[in-house]
Structure 1
Amino acid sequence: MTTATRRRPLVAGDWVYRPYPLAEGTPQVVCFPHAGGDVTAFAELAVALAPALEVWAVRLPARGGRYTEPMPETFDALVSEVAGGLTPHLRPGSLFYGQSFGALLAYEVARELRPDVVVPACASAPAAWPGTVPATDHGAEDLLRRCGLDAALPADDTIRELAVATIRTDMNVCRSYRHRADSLPDFAVHAVAGAGDTMLPPAEMAGWARATTGPFTTSVEPGGHLLATPLSAGPAGLLRALHARGGDRVHHHR
């Protein structure tokens, strides 16, 4: 699909952004951005999934069009606000996709809203958080570099500092997270690793099997720590296949 065929994005309330709007009733892929990330990460994915699936990207505060709005102080508060913002727009049979920090957020919001399938990408399982978050804000610079975002930023100190500040904000929220091992959900989980991810070995994704009582599958996809970026569609083929499978409970890779 060329640039000429792109459609004007739409904002649906405070919390939802539709990079490539499709017909009412089109199945949804709800996308949750990485630490420091924004809805722009899913623009190419939205085009790649059309016309079968429509991307609805979660608009987080303290970045992009919501830069002046404060981030909720705790992870639980963030989950509650995101779930409330998504509820009026959620369609039956939706699939949640989140990468890195967004994978954890997608999982916890899914515990509230119960989509058919949750796809965490390049993130430690919930039981491992917040131990994977750097203990100090100095880790934000390192995270920017190791995610591969450093090279993608313009050579502008102001833009770089804004990116680092947003990562710090998300890291601070993550430190308040505590996994609830009781009353595990039963939705399907498909954990995705990046073949070129230098931050998280693919074997780590197996821990997500203990985050659900439903079916669990996993795969390794091309890409680094961030699969969907402003320059890359990411795992579009995988998401199409998972949606078509509809959380099939036959193939359990436990």
Structure 2
Amino acid sequence: MVCFPHAGGDVTAFAGLAAALAPELEVWAIRLPGRGGRFGDPMPDSFAALVSAVLAGLSPHLRPGSLFYGQSFGALLAYEVARALPSELRPRIVVPACAPPPPAWPGPTPPTSAGAAELLERCGLATALPDDTAIRELAVAAIRTDLTVCRTYRHRPDPVPGFAIHAVAGAQDRGLPPAVVAGWASATTGRFTTSTEDGGHLLATPLTSGPATLLRTLHAVAAQTPQCGVGCV
């Protein structure tokens, strides 16, 4: 299973999920520019360029039968990367979590520093980050960078891909009701299912809701798709 982080997120967001799903699923995660060991790498200046960069890094490691999981901003990125892959490398299923369907993007303009507190609150990170101004400023800057890139996204309705989609909503996600998440049905010609899990906007992030809210759903979703064994992604 390949995980795509939320705006401003990093691979650490999925550490708890990876531990909980092992050994049934091997979890990989995408590290975007500007965080962790890639702190000095510049973010591409457009969403299309970001998709191309992820494709270049991920494609050599993919095998048929993978699953893509993305939360919030990562859901849109996971979907567009899946669409851009050649048919033999596309995932069997994409799981967008707590994200509006592609036609609804891009969202509102990223707030200025004056809206930092609101931005962290909306992303579920207000109480998760240390009470340190410098750390919070770095977090807000990373979120704003990702959302600024997302502002360049332009939805292409055709061709609609055929991989399955299971869209997930958070029961306590104040900004995104399940009815909006269900709009992902129009993003595939394949099988579509949806569920609402106990948790907030960042369902898989250990510092907020905890990965346990997703475990049963992800196990069930994986069981419905062909398995390719350890190391398949």
Please confirm whether the aligned pair reaches a TM-score higher than 0.5, indicating the same fold: yes
Q: Which amino acid aligns with 1:103?
A: A
For residues 161-192 of structure 1, what are the alpha-carbon distances to aligned partners after superposition, in whole Å with 9 as ceiling and x for unaligned?
00000011001100000000011100000100
Q: Which amino acid aligns with 2:186?
A: R
Secondary structure of 2:27's counterpart equals strand
Indicate the residue corresponding to 2:5 in structure 1: 33
Measured in 2, the distance between the counterparts of 1:142 and 1:229 equals 19
Residues 1:244 and 2:223 are matched in the alignment: yes
Indicate the residue corresponding to 1:11 in structure 2: none
Measured in 1, the distance between the counterparts of 2:112 and 2:59 equals 33
Out of 76, 82, 85, the residue aligned to residue 104 of structure 1 is 76
Q: Which amino acid aligns with 1:72?
A: P
Matches within 5 A, 1:205-224: 205-224=181-200
Secondary structure of 1:103's counterpart equals helix
Indicate the residue corresponding to 2:64 in structure 1: 92
Residues 1:79 and 2:51 are matched in the alignment: yes
Contact 1:79 1:108 in 2 (8 A): yes
Residues 1:129 and 2:105 are matched in the alignment: yes
Give the superposition deviation at 1:136: 4.3
Matches within 5 A, 1:1-254: 29-113=1-85, 114-130=90-106, 132-134=107-109, 136-138=111-113, 141-231=117-207, 232-233=210-211, 234-246=213-225
Measured in 1, the distance between the counterparts of 2:216 and 2:12 equals 19
Contact 1:118 1:190 in 2 (8 A): yes
For residues 64-104 of structure 1, what are the alpha-carbon distances to aligned partners after superposition, in whole Å with 9 as ceiling and x for unaligned?
21111100000000001101111111122100000000000
Q: Which amino acid aligns with 1:243?
A: A
- 5+ residue gaps, structure 2, are 227-233
Measured in 1, the distance between the counterparts of 2:183 and 2:30 equals 25
Measured in 2, the distance between the counterparts of 1:243 and 1:143 equals 33
Contact 1:30 1:94 in 2 (8 A): yes
Give the superposition deviation at 1:143: 2.3
- Compute the TM-score of the two structures, normalised by the length of structure 1: 0.83
Measured in 1, the distance between the counterparts of 2:137 and 2:52 equals 29
Give the superposition deviation at 1:226: 0.6
Residue 43 and residue 135 in structure 1: after superposition, are their counterparts in 2 closer, same or farther (change >3 A)?
closer
Q: Which has the higher helix share?
A: 2
Measured in 1, the distance between the counterparts of 2:3 and 2:161 equals 19
Contact 1:196 1:222 in 2 (8 A): yes
Contact 1:140 1:168 in 2 (8 A): no
**Cα RMSD after superposing both structures:** 1.3
Secondary structure of 2:119's counterpart equals helix
- 5+ residue gaps, structure 1, are 1-28, 248-254
Superposition misfits of 4+ residues, deviation over 6 angstroms: none
Contact 2:165 2:191 in 1 (8 A): yes
Measured in 1, the distance between the counterparts of 2:110 and 2:134 equals 25
Measured in 2, the distance between the counterparts of 1:184 and 1:38 equals 29
Give the superposition deviation at 1:230: 2.9
Contact 1:95 1:117 in 2 (8 A): yes
